[in-house]
């Protein structure tokens, strides 16, 4: 791909209000909800209070039916039901791995499907959510990267994945119950399908809703957004979302990273590191997670490990080593366990945490980078992938 070829964002988000349809409350910001209520007859003076009341029912108690909103007058509830709806993605199928990981196939408007993965651990439960159907980028080791972008998810469809998982886990608190801090769903990672920073506004609005103290109420420290390196959006992520950041680094030279993560041709390692150096200061956050997929004989040498440490000097960081997860037709192999340990050791000795991620849900193809909706017909051609990554077609 020539250097000046734009990495396209041929994206489209479906309008929230379908023709003749009702307005979906899920995904509206507080201001958006307030304005929509006023537009449909709620007196301006009452709108702020009504917004708070509806917000609580939807995001704190998980209510989906206006008739259950008992602190609103009956006639007002009927009015709401006429103009609004509370709609989240629908679970089409659920697979449970032998290790307890759950993979959901969620259907969204237009009949599209995205995958959502719940990973239970001893002290937390992490939900891995998607931001797009498919991806415009073509990272050569990623299964999602072989699927064309179909569309951006709306904010409602993004936060709706969290609500859908809470439904399945039976985790909406009883009204009046004391605030329970031990949660089955305690963390969110934006590491499913898609590049979240190519759908910035929707991801931001959805995460704001997830963080809102009067609702799902997850701390910004429990949300991690993973990007392949959309440099101009990184500072905005700190300023407007303030969550933790993970970056798909995966290589220590531009030559290799160009092939693995083709967005590197647009924003190279130096540009990416520049943006990351500013990030912790901007968001006052802890460390940046550098994700590094371990590919046999591609990026896993001792020299790579040493170069990595040099590159990230001065950035508060931890390096998450991800043994490559295979998928049918993948052009790479996983590094050997000995190689991964040796790589981890070099990084650790240089003073960085270097956890090796245990693949979860492999038996149900739920591990990192294995997500791809089998139902989507749109595929990138072998030729397109070859052109964009320099791999043989």
Binding site for ligand SF4 (CB under 6 A): 135, 137-139, 142, 144-145, 194-195, 228, 248
What tokens does 138 get?
A: 């073509």
153's contact among ligand SAH, ligand SF4, none, with CB below 5 to 8 A by partner kind, is none
User: Residue 104 or residue 141: which is nearer to ligand SAH going by CB?
Assistant: 141
**DSSP secondary structure letters along 1-59:** --TTS----------SS-TT-PEE-TT--HHHHHHHHHHTT--HHHHHHHHHHHHIIII
Closest to 165 (Cα-Cα) out of 223, 216, 122, 229: 216
The least distance separating ligand SAH from the CB of residue 331, rounded to whole angstroms, comes to: 11
Give residues 362-381 in contact with ligand SAH (rule: CB under 6 A): 368-369
Give residues 141-170 in contact with ligand SAH (rule: CB under 6 A): 141-142
One residue of 207, 230, 293, 309 binding ligand SAH per CB under 6 A:
293
- Per the annotation, the verdict on 115 as an active-site residue is yes
Site membership for ligand SAH, residue 324 (CB under 6 A): yes
Closest to 46 (Cα-Cα) out of 25, 20, 71, 21: 71
User: Residue 249 or residue 343: which is nearer to ligand SF4 going by CB?
Assistant: 249
The least distance separating ligand SF4 from the CB of residue 23, rounded to whole angstroms, comes to: 30
One residue of 205, 233, 291, 304 binding ligand SAH per CB under 6 A:
291
User: Residue 62 or residue 359: which is nearer to ligand SF4 going by CB?
Assistant: 359
291's contact among ligand SF4, ligand SAH, none, with CB below 5 to 8 A by partner kind, is ligand SAH
- Per the annotation, the verdict on 113 as an active-site residue is no
Yes or no: say if 19 and 79 are a contact pair by the CB < 8 Å rule: no
Site size with ligand SAH, rule: CB under 6 A: 16
Yes or no: say if 215 and 86 are a contact pair by the CB < 8 Å rule: no
Helices 30-39 and 44-55, interaxial angle, to 10°?
130
Spatial separation of the C-alpha atoms in residues 364 and 176, rounded to whole Å: 38
Q: Which residues are catalytic?
A: 115, 368
């Amino acid at each position: 791909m020539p250097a000046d070829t734009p990495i396209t964002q041929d994206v489209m988000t479906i309008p929230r209000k379908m023709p003749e349809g009702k307005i979906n409350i899920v995904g509206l910001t507080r201001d958006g909800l307030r304005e929509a209520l006023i537009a449909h007859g709620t007196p301006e003076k009452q709108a702020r209070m009504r917004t708070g009341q509806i917000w609580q029912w939807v995001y704190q108690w998980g209510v989906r039916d206006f008739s259950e909103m008992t602190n609103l007058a009956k006639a007002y509830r009927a009015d709401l039901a006429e103009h609004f709806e509370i709609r989240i993605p629908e679970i089409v199928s659920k697979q449970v791995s032998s290790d307890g990981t759950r993979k959901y196939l969620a259907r969204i408007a237009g009949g599209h499907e995205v995958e959502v993965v719940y990973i239970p651990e001893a002290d937390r439960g992490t939900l891995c959510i998607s931001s797009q159907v498919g991806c415009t980028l073509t990272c050569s080791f990623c299964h999602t990267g072989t699927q064309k972008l179909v569309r951006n998810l709306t904010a409602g469809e993004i936060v709706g994945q969290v609500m859908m998982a809470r439904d399945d886990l039976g985790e909406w608190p009883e009204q009046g119950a004391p605030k329970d801090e031990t949660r089955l769903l305690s963390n969110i990672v934006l590491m499913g399908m898609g590049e979240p920073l190519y759908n910035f506004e929707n991801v931001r609005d959805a995460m704001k809703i997830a963080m809102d103290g009067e609702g799902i109420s997850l701390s910004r420290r429990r949300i991690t957004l993973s990007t392949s390196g959309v440099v101009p959006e990184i500072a905005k992520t700190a300023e407007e979302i303030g969550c933790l950041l993970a970056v798909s680094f995966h290589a220590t030279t531009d030559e290799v990273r160009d092939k693995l993560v083709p967005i590197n041709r647009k924003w190279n390692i130096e540009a990416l590191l520049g943006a990351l150096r500013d990030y912790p200061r901007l968001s006052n956050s802890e460390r940046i997670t550098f994700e590094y997929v371990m590919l046999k004989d591609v990026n896993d040498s001792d020299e790579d490990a040493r170069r990595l440490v040099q590159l990230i000097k001065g950035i508060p960081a931890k390096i998450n080593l991800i043994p490559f997860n295979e998928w049918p037709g993948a052009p790479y192999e996983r590094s050997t366990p000995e190689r991964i340990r040796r790589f981890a050791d070099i990084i650790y000795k240089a003073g960085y945490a270097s956890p090796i991620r245990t693949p979860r849900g492999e038996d149900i193809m739920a591990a990192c980078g294995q997500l791809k909706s089998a139902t989507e017909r749109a595929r990138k051609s072998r030729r397109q992938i070859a052109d964009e990554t320099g791999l043989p077609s």
